Structure 1
């Protein structure tokens, strides 16, 4: 067995792991990075980028089919070639993956170890029986995987997760989506707009990441008007029949409704990849999920020389958060035992549905009711939104009663991804509602809707 000694061993070659390795090296430490599956990032391979490629195709199809209201009439029908759609998705996806792999190729060969790492003791790792890595500090950056209920397993190849969607050569005729979270919502709407018969099932009122009941109710009604959406479905049965999936559920009057689908897409959350790491040999405390208990500021696990970053710790499973956490974990591993809090930017989340959903700052569910006021705006009569026929949406901004500071927002509406950045910058700079209203708002733009919500919050603060 090969013996390899180093200062820092990083487990995982994704966004967080690559950032941890590079920053540990930049801080002057010797470092190796271990990957057991595929080098590169979840985002580029099966996450952010391929999903946005599919969504872009869906948006193109939808826009072409909805021009009549502008007086623009297209003769004939919109023809969607599923093979061409998926060919572009995969070609462009592979380009994005290639960019990541070029960075991996620049890592010296002696710093890369391929295989599954498992702790032998607190900082010693055995990799597939061929290499023993003797480190003094370890960064766990093993990412996450789709969490699939065991009851779906008998469906065999009729069961898919989001990773599988981007391996399709053609679009299927029908898909049942279980889980109206971020992934399920984005993929369901995209597939629907590309001509796939879709039905979405959930088991609670939750939709996407929303916690504000009014915004969630508006969003649910908006999406349910476009495709079948059951956020509180009572499922009677899920089983395979030949090459199809048979699903039965309670209808509006309590009757049993049954439909058949080509696939069941399980968008039922993700779980940290930590189960096979041999964490029982490290002495670190584990939570109920089997994830090491860690300090979210420093990413250190207890007082040990072990750090955990990215989707593996499941704080905010987003690429920019994984990159920031990788930097923090890598730097702290290099300087251990002298660790310090890393950068924590303003919380920001976007769902690339239509209308888009966004959240910035504190969530509605995490605020004490008596401490804040809510400013509201509907985008249904907002000028620029109506001009573009994108006038669906409702926004809530939250302001602290005592200080007048902007503390968060949840909304659904047009171009939310852009407005979200304005609000994230305002939150990170701890601006008050009054200071935000002193900023320029051009006319006519969708951001004027934000100004309306801020003015409503200001009036409530004054009262």
Structure 2
């Protein structure tokens, strides 16, 4: 009778094992007492011996893969025996003793235990945006049998209707602006008035960029052996989702369904309007003569910059008293003044009440006013995507509209995690990706927590803005005013002068006693490519003094960072008065 070999339980706390190496292949003979395979437990690698003479008839677990204890992984028997019949017989013997497992060398048989519940997948990710697809790949790389479910488009909002297409359009706007200044750099033959943008060609280029990246995501998933299911997932229970007419079971789920544009119900719409969101703005086939942007956050300000440089007359209406709330106000005010000099109009503290016939009606300082425009861009935020998920139906807890998680990214149901915009913590693609890494680590038995104090933000204007950590006001509140602040203006930076743009400044906030980096806010050329240095420094708990002693190359815009830390810690920069 053929013997079904199972993953042995070699320790009290062992729930699964990793097949490290098969010492015999299918069709090869094995003798009793001969090492058949090796497994990794949570502590060590152990050889497992065959319990009888026979031929390896079937192997179900590949080298490097994981299996729960007592899961069938191979069949050993005599030549001509049917391994599938042996497996079927084992499955049907509910009341019979478990088939004898291969015995680990120098050990006694494990006590008989009931077969564990098995699922189709170990990890299933719902949503294939940046957070979702990278999380699925990481889970697969950790040896987990992984599935990803996507309802709309791979790459999510970021790759399709967010970060990437926006930057593709902004690149064209920047080139147009630079070419108009060609004469300042000694270039003849360029007539600024003759320059224009072919929106059809621009949109085609944007489409190619998006398509390349989306195809890359699909290739990465295939290459990492992640099973892909297309359709909308809805929870049946904590271990099952339905996708169309198919049921998928999984030991763990990671919800990464992202967010959608928020359309505020408190802003009335009357008459005939041309209201667009960021999604429609990315597909414009012409540049509107004028546009009113409702919202002064990152999305609103980037589109205000983009459309103004393409030729629109732009008006921004923001409810609070400053734009870009995550940026230190000293820096965001510089950006606002630059945009105003380039023709953008700002109304801060403006409470929008309604839109009627493309006129935005608002109240500011007790006075009613309105702005007429050809189009209105609604950019007041985003809301987590949970519609159709049946998250409430299976008992998931919410924090307002977001799925509630702890710092391990777990929900109140221990086998379900939620990452990215859907948990409402920090709606940034790179936050979602890192939350996914934390979730996978915890699924794999580690104990990792997410740190939300060191997440960089980037705003793609010209010059760019990048920031991480606390603003000056926040730092003073948390440290009782015991902070030092350093500033370095770009007019003291040689590379910025070479670039032809000395607007902007670097601002750093550090603890006055320890030199701990509390916040960094950069406004200058290429700063989105520099903020990663500060993220590494903060993660490594580097101090202001260590940042000063880190040698920054010359001539670069980046060397202004060391100057700003000098200004904060030593009281004065070298190249600034």
Q: TM-score range by the shorter chain?
A: 0.7 to 0.9
Shift of 1:31: 2.9
**Partner residue in 1 for 2:210:** 93
Per-residue deviation, residues 31-55 of structure 1 (Å, max 9, x unmatched): 3222222233322111221111111
2:4 aligned partner: none
2:134 corresponds in structure 1 to 19
Which residue number corresponds to residue 199 of structure 1?
A: 315
Alignment of 1:370 onto 2:481 = yes
Q: Check the 8 A contact 2:235/2:389 in 1, yes or no.
A: yes
2:350 to 227, 233, 236: 233
1:288 corresponds to 2:404: no
1:32 aligns with 2:147: yes
Say whether residues 1:456 and 2:573 are aligned partners: no
- The equivalent of 2:432 in structure 1 is 322
Is 1:57 aligned to residue 172 of structure 2?
Answer: yes
RMSD: 2.9
Q: SS of the counterpart of 1:17?
A: helix
Query: In proportion to residue count, which structure has more strand?
Result: 2
2:467 maps to 1:355:
no
Look up the match of 1:47: 162
Does residue 410 of structure 2 align to residue 300 of structure 1?
yes
From 514, 518, 521, the counterpart of 1:407: 518
CA separation in 2, counterparts of 1:182 and 1:76? Answer: 29
Structure 1 residue 340 and structure 2 residue 447: aligned? Answer: yes
Please tell me whether the aligned partners of residues 287 and 293 of structure 1 are also in contact (alpha carbons under 8 angstroms): yes
The 5 Å alignment of 1:254-265 reads 254=367, 256-261=369-374, 263-265=375-377
Q: 2:539 aligned with 1:428, yes or no?
A: yes
Secondary structure, aligned partner of 1:210: coil
Q: Which residue of the partner structure matches residue 268 of structure 1?
A: 380
Rate the CA distance shift 1:330–1:441 in 2: closer, same or farther, 3 A: closer
Does the 8 Å CA contact 1:397/1:454 hold for their aligned counterparts? yes
Question: Do 2:126 and 2:233's aligned partners in 1 also have CA atoms closer than 8 Å?
Answer: yes
Change (3 A) 1:460 1:155: farther
Task: Please report the TM-score for the alignment, with normalisation by the length of structure 2.
Answer: 0.71
- Please list every run of 5 or more consecutive structure 2 residues that lacks an aligned counterpart in the other structure: 1-117, 573-577
Task: Say if 2:410 and 2:416, in contact at 8 Å, map to a contact too.
Answer: yes
TM-score, normalised relative to structure 1: 0.87
Identify which of 404, 412, 423 aligns with 1:313.
423
Alignment CA distance shift 1:156-1:18 (3 Å)? farther
* Structure whose residues are more often helix by fraction: 1
Count residues in correspondence: 447
Q: Is the 8 A contact 1:246 1:258 kept in 2?
A: yes
Counterpart contact for 1:122–1:281, Cα < 8 Å: no
| Pair 1:387–1:32, CA change in 2 (3 A) | closer
Retained in 2: the 8 A contact 1:223–1:229?
no
The answer to whether the 8 Å contact 2:361/2:371 transfers is: yes
Rg (Cα) greater in structure: 2
Q: Quick check: 1:10–1:140 contact (8 Å CA) kept in 2?
A: yes
Distance in 2 (CA, whole Å) between partners of 1:113 and 1:275 is 19
Q: Given the superposition, is the C-alpha separation of residues 458 and 386 from structure 1 closer, same or farther in structure 2, using an over 3 Å criterion?
A: same
Q: Whole-Å Cα distance in 1 between the matches of residues 361 and 157 of structure 2?
A: 33
